[in-house]
């Protein structure tokens, strides 16, 4: 076997391994999103329930990366649309469909921002808070636009936004704390010594 053939085989094996890891991580996280949908509270005045889904969805974007996080959210939608008991009582065609679609874009946006943040900035709580707040904003925009088709714009904000702001702010703080803890854990080796990460400028140089 020539050196070139060996390199090609190694590259193909690496790609196959990456695909397996991506698929496994996305499927596992999709099920985690489905489990979070079971933690729900129905509001008598709104078609949108209170759930833990946005917390898990956006954490997927930050921890798995933009591509895998969005894929996990998309697999969750596919499973729910196929009839699995994934959704919190709604459907893609129903009033909450926009929020569900927003999961995919929200996870991707959070993951993209996270991947382009420098390692030092990623550990800053305020920076993490802003990233997750933006991810929630993406989900809200798509959700409200779709909800307005059913209830009209005058009712969309009080039914699909106002009741959830405080809870989602709490989720933002929780998500920022979780990824901050995860980043600190990755900053140390098994012997307790600290790992020095290069900045993005250093990685590109």
Range of the structural domain that residue 102 is part of: 3-204
Rounded to 5 degrees, what angle do the CA atoms 24, 177, 66 make? 35
Residue 126: predicted pLDDT: 78
Residue 187: predicted pLDDT: 52
Taking CA atoms, 186 is separated from 63, 75, 189, in Å, by 12, 28, 7
Region for residue 36 given its phi and psi (left: phi exceeds 0; alpha: psi -120 to 50; beta: otherwise): alpha
Residue 70: predicted pLDDT: 97
Residue 63: predicted pLDDT: 92
Tokens of 105: 């874009």
> How many domains are there within the chain?
1
The DSSP secondary structure of 70-82, one letter per residue, reads: HHHHHHHHHHHHT
Give pLDDT < 70 ranges for the chain: 1-17, 117-124, 184-205
Q: What CATH number has the domain bearing residue 107?
A: 1.10.1760.20
Residue 21: predicted pLDDT: 85
Residue 123: predicted pLDDT: 57
Residue 192: predicted pLDDT: 42
Residue 118: predicted pLDDT: 47
């Amino acid at each position: 076997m020539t050196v070139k053939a060996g390199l090609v085989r190694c590259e193909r094996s690496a790609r196959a391994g990456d695909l397996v890891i991506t698929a496994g991580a996305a499927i596992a996280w999709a099920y985690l999103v489905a489990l979070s949908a079971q933690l729900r509270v129905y509001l008598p005045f709104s078609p949108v329930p209170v759930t833990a889904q946005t917390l898990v969805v956006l954490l997927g974007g930050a921890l798995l990366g933009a591509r895998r996080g969005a894929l996990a959210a998309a697999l969750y939608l596919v499973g729910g649309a196929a009839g699995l008991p994934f959704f919190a009582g709604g459907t893609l065609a129903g009033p909450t469909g926009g929020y569900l679609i927003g999961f995919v874009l929200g996870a991707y946006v959070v993951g993209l921002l996270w991947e382009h943040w420098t390692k030092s900035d990623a550990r800053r709580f305020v920076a993490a808070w802003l990233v997750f707040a933006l991810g929630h904003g993406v989900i809200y925009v798509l959700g409200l636009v779709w909800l307005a088709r059913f209830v009209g714009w005058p009712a969309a904000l009080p039914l699909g936004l106002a009741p959830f702001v405080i809870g989602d702010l709490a989720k933002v703080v929780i998500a920022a704390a979780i990824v901050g803890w995860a980043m600190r854990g990755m900053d140390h080796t098994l012997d307790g010594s600290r790992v020095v990460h290069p900045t993005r400028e250093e990685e590109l140089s």
